Amino acid sequence: MSEVLLEVVDAEFRYARGLPPAATGINLQVRPGDSVGIVGESGSGKTTVGRGLVGSLFPSSGSVLVQGRGWKGVRRRDPVRRIVQMVFQDPYASLNPMLSAQATVAEVIRVWDGAKPSVAASRAEQVLAEVGLTGEVIRRRPALLSGGQRQRVGIARALACEPQVLVADEPTSALDVSVQANVLNLLLDLKASRGLALVLISHDLSVVDYLTDRALVMLNGEVVEHGDTHTLLQNPSHEYTKTLISSIPGSSLANA
């Protein structure tokens, strides 16, 4: 078996002492090339787990290990931070409005690799081409890009760190239906071409079914079901999973 890149062991996450945990009993292993879905209704704890995976939230108990190390104590510029990168739901809010697409990506390359500005700019051009952005478009600021183009910039920015795991939190839910499939297919292509592992967070089971091999189903901060994505969909054992499936348009359980 290949090495474990990211491991969550019986983790619980809380935002404040007095509050109930936002997620609890979380266990997950991510190896190179894996694709794992985290699915559940709004407020079920998906983003909380995603934040735990990238180290922006520490577990209140249990552990999150990246290549065997806990996030606590990992400095801002520790190379281990490159391994897991996040793609956010709202590309507009997560991009600097003052920077062009190329400058956004070049900045990451400059900071992480200490590359000279001219070198960083040309490497940024290559990464942007990898996500399908070429020509004068890469010199535009976010306000002059479409939603789909902005999300491609967000993906390129994550790739600029040369990550091994991408955690994508609802990467298409802010996008027009017509471009959602393009961005999902881009993630699939990058997964194949770069050998990336993907953790896909979505409330949409059909998206999780399309992109992932394994999935966790969350409800009220707990994992109520996990396993092979297709098996889960074909043969849900938890009532809640059945309810989620029945909400997929065209699902055989849709009218059940």
The answer to whether residue 148 forms part of the interface with ligand ATP (CB under 6 A) is: no
Q: Cβ atoms within 10 A of the Cβ of 79, count?
A: 11
Straight-line distance from the first to the last Cα atom of the chain, in angstroms, rounded to the nearest whole number? 40
**If binding is defined by CB under 6 A, does position 59 make contact with ligand ATP?**
no
Interaction of residue 47 with ligand ATP, rule CB under 6 A: yes
Nearer to ligand ATP, 140 or 226 (CB): 226
In 10 A of CB 225, how many CB atoms? 18
| String marking each residue 41-70 x if it binds Mg ion according to CB under 5 A | ------x-----------------------
**Residue 48, interface with ligand ATP (CB under 6 A)?**
yes
Residue 38 is inside which H or E element, if any?
Answer: strand 35-40
- The residues in 192-211 that bind ligand ATP, with binding defined as CB under 6 A, are 203
From the list 37, 40, 52, 171, which residue makes contact with ligand ATP (rule: CB under 6 A)?
40
Nearer to Mg ion, 24 or 47 (CB): 47
Helix (H, G, I), strand (E, B) or coil at 109: helix
Q: What is the dihedral of CA 11, 227, 47, 239, to 10 degrees?
A: -100
* Site membership for ligand ATP, residue 22 (CB under 6 A): yes
> What letter would DSSP give residue 166?
E
Helix (H/G/I), strand (E/B), else coil: 172: coil
Q: Contact positions toward ligand ATP, by CB under 6 A?
A: 15, 22, 40, 42-48, 203
